[in-house]
Amino acid sequence: MNIDQVKQFVSLADKKADLEVQLEQVKTDMKALEEVLMGQFQDSGTQSVSVAGRTVSLRRDLFASAKGADKEAVTAALKAADLGQYVKQDYNANSLTAYVREMVRAAEAERGAPLDELTDALPQPLRAVLSVFVKYSVRATRS
């Protein structure tokens, strides 16, 4: 084991954590200024301002969401309006991964050893359609 490389990794992990803290502060500061500047742009009727090689402008975005969070009603309405291309049947990848982790953990606990084939922990229909793999990474935590 090369301890110098481990030390370098720890140093980089510390630097990353410090930069993430700084980034969050910058985002907070920008959000506060954005609120003030939006009012100024609207009050003055200004479209854009150029400062220090940057053009700052008020941007308008439109979004749509379900009234009362009723996705089923929106799905039915889209289908009724012949807009089925906006509807898809899907699954939540994070929830599926959590389920697979739970099933593998339970199977390995029951067996008392790691599984040779991780998909053996899953119901038969899922075994043919899911890939289950382990990903390793190196992390540094403050001790």
106-110 contact pairs (CB < 8 A, 24+): none
What pLDDT does 19 receive? Answer: 98
CB proximity list for 42: less than 8 A, separation 6 or greater:
58
Domain total in the chain: 2
What pLDDT does 90 receive? Answer: 86
Instruction: Indicate the pTM of the whole model.
Output: 0.65
Q: List the structure tokens of 22.
A: 């700084």
Residue 71 domain flag: no
Residue 116 domain flag: yes
Residue 138 domain flag: no
Identify whether the C-beta of residue 78 lies closer than 8 Å to the C-beta of residue 86. Answer: yes
CA distance 67 to 101: 35
Residue 20: give the domain boundaries.
1-44
- Model pLDDT for residues 55-81, shown as the tens digit of each residue: 999 888 888 888 888 889 999 999 999
Terminal C-alpha separation, the chain: 20
Q: List the structure tokens of 37.
A: 């500047």
Residue 59 domain flag: no
Residue 139: pLDDT band by 50, 70, 90 thresholds? confident
